Structure 1
Amino acid sequence: MALEHKPFENRVGRIMQQRRRLAGGFGLTVDSNNLIVPRPQHVTLVFPWRGLCLALLIGLAFKAYLLATFDAPAYADRLAILETGRPVERAGAWVMQPDPASVALAGVIRLLQR
């Protein structure tokens, strides 16, 4: 009697294996018999490099704008106030320190503002 159910058990096993593979996502394709069949799709996680670069450029432009708007002593005074604050404010003060790129961009902004 056990041999009679073996083909059925094999078929159920194949069906369950296919369901597990499709559980992660699937796409529909047309096979050689013109049947629409689901095929597993593999999802790859991609780091959003474009968004990160855009955020860094916007941050650099903002810092350069602040450097161009305030004169150097006023900007240094505001950074000194931030450096005495909470840890988040100290981190902001560290990020807002003038660097060569933002100073150069601030010079260009000052020329455009005149």
Structure 2
Amino acid sequence: MLRIPLFRLLAINLAIGACAAALLVGGLLWLNPGHLRELILADRAPGIGLVLLLASFVITFGSAAMGSAIMAQGRKQDEGGGGGGRPIAIGDAVVVAARTADGKGASQRQSS
């Protein structure tokens, strides 16, 4: 199943999200904001609270990482950075960004 590129992409990003979730839960327990660690550990079954907290963070960060990876699939890698764009009006002149034949950006002024 990991030979299929889409599933491999999703598994890698789920692992990244799970690591981020584990780091965040560990940081929350270490910093103890609002006495969260004391509240969890004072319960009769602190493992259930920790598992629920970690699972909710894994679901949140894992799905965010997988979703951003999927949405970035259609994006083309641009070699030279930005280029082209909307014309910008400055007074009575219009500045238009254009690309030259060698791929470098250039600005041209057009009077209106």
TM-score by length of 1: 0.28
TM-score by length of 2: 0.28
- Greater fraction helix: 1
Q: Rg bigger for which structure?
A: 1
The one of the two structures with greater contact order (alpha-carbon pairs below 8 A, sep at least 6) is 2
- Greater fraction strand: 2
